[in-house]
Amino acid sequence: MPASPAPADPGRDDDLAWPDRDPMTAAERQASLDRLCEQDEGYREDEADEYGDVEPFTAEELAEIRHAAADELLAVEAATTGRRGPGQPGSARVFPGESASPAASFGPGMVLDVLPGCPQLAVAADAAAGEDGGFAGVSEAELVGVVCGWDRVEAHAHARKLAAVAELARRNPGELDAEFTADQVAYALGESRARAGSLIGMAQALQHKYTVRLDNEAIAEIHTVGDILAFVLNQMA
């Protein structure tokens, strides 16, 4: 079939998808624009009265805003450096700034932030809450340091507890004595017999099977309860 040239203006040809003219007349377009202008409130004269009475921030208010913003930035920066505690990357350096809060020594890299778990750390962490116990004036970075401090105190206490349990088991080496020791621990702690047996087993594993004594030096190396479990699992691997 020979090809015929396309007409210059094919027209609408009853196909609404290809109109050959603007479907809206000039009058209709102007009416639509007028309706949009009517819906737009534009600038209201009473806006100046509505927002004109707002007083600017005082120097004290601006200082509080800057302090809060700096606290937030410090908390974010400290949180992204890693785990906190003795020898940990999150406590490897001291961040700039000053703090007079009761938890200032728990800031990143400060003396209590890198102190191993001990009774003195527990006393300091308890005092960090302030007189009302509400942590007033304590920054988020310092508050995280207090949390980590209590975690090390918990690990220290758990290690001491295991040392005492291991000594109790050592004094009762016989099979019948061992059963009595498990019952004794279960009754004293209000735990089940199985839980008491697991506790004694962990204590003996640390002190006897792997020839590790829970003395002061060894306990100082334990910063979290997870460190105790990790040590046992590494020795069993």
Using a pLDDT cut of 90, give the percent of the chain over it.
24
Q: What is the pLDDT of residues 107-141, one digit of tens each?
A: 888 999 999 999 999 999 999 999 899 999 898 88
Look up the pTM and report it.
Answer: 0.58
Mean pLDDT of 147-154: 94
As a whole number, the mean pLDDT across the chain is: 76
Q: What is the pLDDT of residues 188-231, one digit of tens each?
A: 999 999 999 999 988 888 775 544 445 555 555 555 555 655 55
Confidence category of residue 163, pLDDT binned at 50, 70, 90: confident
Give the least confident one: 25-34, 48-57, 170-179: 48-57
| The predicted structure's pLDDT at residue 79 | 67
| The predicted structure's pLDDT at residue 210 | 47
What is the length of the chain? 237
Give 213's DSSP letter: -
**Contact present, 206 and 162 (Cβ < 8 Å):** yes
Instruction: List all residues 6 or more positions away from 85 whose beta carbon is below 8 Å from its beta carbon.
Output: 91, 113, 114, 148, 152, 223, 224
| Separation of alpha carbons 103 and 75, rounded Å | 14
**Contact present, 83 and 108 (Cβ < 8 Å):** no
Residue written as tokens 């000039």? 26
Output 21 or 34, whichever has higher pLDDT.
Answer: 34
Q: In Å, what is the CA distance from 134 to each residue of 108, 130, 189?
A: 21, 7, 31
Q: Two tokens at 118?
A: 């001990």
